């Protein structure tokens, strides 16, 4: 069995969406002929993006070694002045620098002891690319970059100015050019790398999506019940970024902080709240029939929008739940909610929210407010999507009413294409990853 040094900042017992890709690769790689040697960090407590989910550790095969490095708490959260100065000057953050240095030191030592056949780093944090490249330079072991988000090609990310966005693209190309393989997690993001980064050979850029674990979907899925029409959103909203962008539109436009035509607020419950407020005003009786379950950590801005809404009685917010508990809601939902950001005309989104794949696996109708994107394409092929444009309040209201009426009459269903969805099983995706590894010598 070949060995792979597997570098991942996000790894159990941390929970959250960023962990699943790393965990499932590690879970299934031994079956595909590769033994991971994991290099990760100690799980920080109580952070929005890295909540704890101890049960996930049970999925790590016993033969997998896990090495952890410590990142001091004060490094994770820089002050506003420090962050602004770093962004303005294009400098690496203290956190990024510390993570990179720790990985280089520990990774070089592990590589000398374990003699892995290749180095694999999954990102973010994107500083891991330079760490893996340095370990590779020191040891002669080839390295593979795996990007869970498209880094500088991510249209959702803000930059200090348009110039800083271009600087970040240049840094991304420099950091990735020595990789034996660059794995992007959507077809669109892989296309962007090939189109915009000529120093990275196109044949070294591939796409490998996120997915779902079939074992998580075994057995019957009990409905949430309660005699209600249950709508579910799992994971994070991004209302805070969207509200800030809206209040600073002129500044963002002048500085080039954002790509024209991208609006972040629709990647939240902001417009859904407006639709539900209209619905409740028209039909007050839905207060006893409809529940919108927000399963995940809400920011203060997310919660404040709900608290200030006339439709707040329709919302049930659980806070963070374990992955297993979250899937109970996803599988038992009458309707799933998948919002994304607006995109300019003619431009395809480079992101597919990780929840998309588990939504498809659940076989439940998905109320999807999506721009042109791989996510929209996937849901169309899966047969589960109920679509309207991001920010379309009236469209949301019409689809909510329609799905509720079908539920009430016992006629709610979707034309689920299980064969199409099966390609996104984590075991199948890990087999594809092993085939990519086989090409690296």
| CA–CA separation, 294 and 279 (whole Å) | 18
Residues making up the chain, counted from first to last: 441
The conformation of residue 299, written as its DSSP 8-state character, comes to P
Q: Of the CATH numbers 3.40.50.2000, 3.40.50.150, 3.30.1360.120, 3.40.50.10490, which one belongs to the domain with range 2-211+425-438?
A: 3.40.50.2000
**Residue 28's closest CA among 433, 322, 420, 357?**
433
**Residue 101's closest CA among 130, 62, 78?**
130
| CA–CA separation, 110 and 7 (whole Å) | 11
Mapped onto helix, strand or coil, the DSSP state of residue 401 is helix
| CA–CA separation, 334 and 233 (whole Å) | 11
Neighbours of 333 (CB within 10 A): 25
The conformation of residue 155, written as its DSSP 8-state character, comes to T
Report pLDDT for 227.
86
Is residue 59 within 8 A of residue 66, CB to CB? The reply is no
| CA–CA separation, 380 and 157 (whole Å) | 26
HEC profile of 87-134:
HHHCCCCHHHHHHHHHHHHHHHHHHHHHCCCEEEEEECCCHHHHHHHH
Neighbours of 397 (CB within 10 A): 20
- Sorted by where each begins, the domain ranges of the chain are 2-211+425-438, 215-422
| CA–CA separation, 18 and 152 (whole Å) | 18
The secondary element (H helix, E strand) that includes residue 67 is: strand 65-69
Report pLDDT for 22.
96
What are the backbone dihedrals phi and psi of residue 8, each rounded to the nearest 5 degrees, phi first?
-150, 115
Report pLDDT for 80.
60
Report pLDDT for 322.
87
Instruction: Give yes or no on whether 2-211+425-438 and 215-422 have one common fold.
Output: yes
Burial group, residue 69, by CB count within 10 angstroms (0-12, 13-18, 19+): middle
Is residue 233 within 8 A of residue 342, CB to CB? The reply is no
Mapped onto helix, strand or coil, the DSSP state of residue 52 is strand
| CA–CA separation, 147 and 201 (whole Å) | 17
With tokens 């480079």, the residue in question is: 350
Report pLDDT for 47.
57
**Residue 135's closest CA among 23, 28, 5?**
5
Cis omega (within 30 of 0) for bond into 125: yes
| CA–CA separation, 434 and 253 (whole Å) | 44
Report pLDDT for 249.
85
| CA–CA separation, 369 and 68 (whole Å) | 39
Name the pTM for this structure.
0.91
Give the side-chain half-sphere CA count within 13 A for 156: 23
What are the backbone dihedrals phi and psi of residue 5, each rounded to the nearest 5 degrees, phi first?
-75, 115
Mapped onto helix, strand or coil, the DSSP state of residue 182 is strand
Is residue 174 within 8 A of residue 200, CB to CB? The reply is no
With tokens 């003619």, the residue in question is: 346
Tens of each residue's pLDDT in the chain, 441 residues: 999 999 999 999 988 778 999 999 999 999 999 999 999 998 765 555 567 778 889 999 999 999 999 887 666 555 566 666 566 656 667 788 898 999 999 999 999 999 999 999 999 999 999 999 999 999 999 999 999 999 999 998 888 888 989 999 999 999 999 999 999 999 999 999 999 999 999 999 999 999 999 999 988 878 887 889 999 999 999 999 998 988 898 888 888 888 888 999 999 999 999 999 999 999 999 999 999 999 988 999 999 999 999 999 999 998 888 888 999 999 999 999 999 999 999 999 999 999 999 999 999 999 999 999 999 999 999 999 999 999 999 999 999 999 999 999 888 778 899 999 999 999 999 999 999 999 997
**Residue 185's closest CA among 237, 148, 157, 152?**
148
CATH 3.30.110.70 fits 215-422, yes or no: no
CA 303 to chain centre: 21
**Residue 113's closest CA among 128, 131, 135?**
135
Positive or negative CA dihedral for 312, 313, 319, 322?
negative
Token pair listed for 117: 């056949």
| CA–CA separation, 152 and 167 (whole Å) | 9
With tokens 């902001």, the residue in question is: 270
């Amino acid at each position: 069995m070949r060995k792979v040094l597997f570098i991942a900042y996000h790894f159990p017992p941390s929970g959250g969406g960023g962990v699943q890709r790393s965990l499932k690769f590690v879970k299934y790689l031994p079956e595909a002929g590769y033994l991971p040697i994991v290099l990760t960090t100690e799980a920080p407590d109580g952070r929005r993006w890295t909540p704890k989910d101890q049960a996930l550790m049970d999925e790590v095969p016993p033969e997998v070694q896990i090495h952890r490095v410590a990142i001091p708490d004060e490094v994770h959260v820089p002050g506003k002045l420090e962050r602004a100065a770093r962004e303005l000057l294009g400098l690496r953050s203290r956190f990024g620098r510390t993570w990179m240095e720790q990985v280089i030191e520990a990774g070089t030592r592990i590589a000398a002891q374990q003699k892995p056949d290749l180095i694999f780093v999954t990102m973010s944090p994107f500083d891991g690319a330079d760490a893996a490249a340095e370990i590779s330079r020191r040891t002669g072991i080839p390295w593979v970059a795996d990007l869970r988000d498209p880094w500088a090609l991510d249209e959702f990310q803000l930059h200090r100015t348009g110039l800083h966005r271009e600087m970040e693209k240049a840094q991304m190309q420099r950091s990735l050019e020595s990789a034996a393989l660059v794995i992007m997690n959507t077809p669109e993001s892989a296309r962007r790398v090939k189109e915009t980064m000529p120093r990275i050979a196109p044949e070294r850029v591939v796409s490998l999506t996120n997915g779902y674990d079939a074992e998580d979907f075994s057995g019957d899925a009990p409905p949430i019940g309660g005699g209600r029409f249950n709508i579910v959103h799992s994971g994070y909203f991004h209302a805070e970024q969207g509200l800030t962008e809206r209040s600073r539109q002129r500044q963002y436009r002048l500085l080039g902080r954002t790509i024209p035509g991208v609006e972040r607020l629709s990647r939240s419950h902001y417009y859904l709240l407006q639709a539900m407020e209209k619905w409740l005003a028209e039909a007050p009786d839905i207060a006893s029939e409809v529940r919108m379950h927000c399963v995940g950590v809400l920011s203060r801005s997310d919660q404040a929008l709900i608290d200030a809404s006339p439709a707040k009685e329709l919302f049930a917010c659980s806070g963070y739940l374990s992955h297993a508990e979250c899937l109970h809601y996803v599988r038992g939902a009458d309707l799933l909610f998948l919002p994304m950001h607006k995109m300019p005309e003619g431009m395809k989104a480079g992101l597919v929210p990780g929840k998309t794949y588990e939504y498809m696996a659940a076989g439940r109708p998905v109320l999807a407010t999506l721009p042109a994107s791989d996510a929209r394409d996937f849901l169309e092929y899966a047969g589960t999507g109920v679509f309207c444009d991001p920010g379309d309040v009236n469209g949301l209201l019409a689809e909510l009413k329609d799905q509720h009426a079908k539920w009430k009459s016992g006629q709610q269903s979707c034309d689920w294409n299980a064969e199409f969805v099966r390609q996104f099983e984590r075991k199948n995706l890990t087999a594809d990853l092993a085939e990519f590894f086989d090409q690296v010598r």
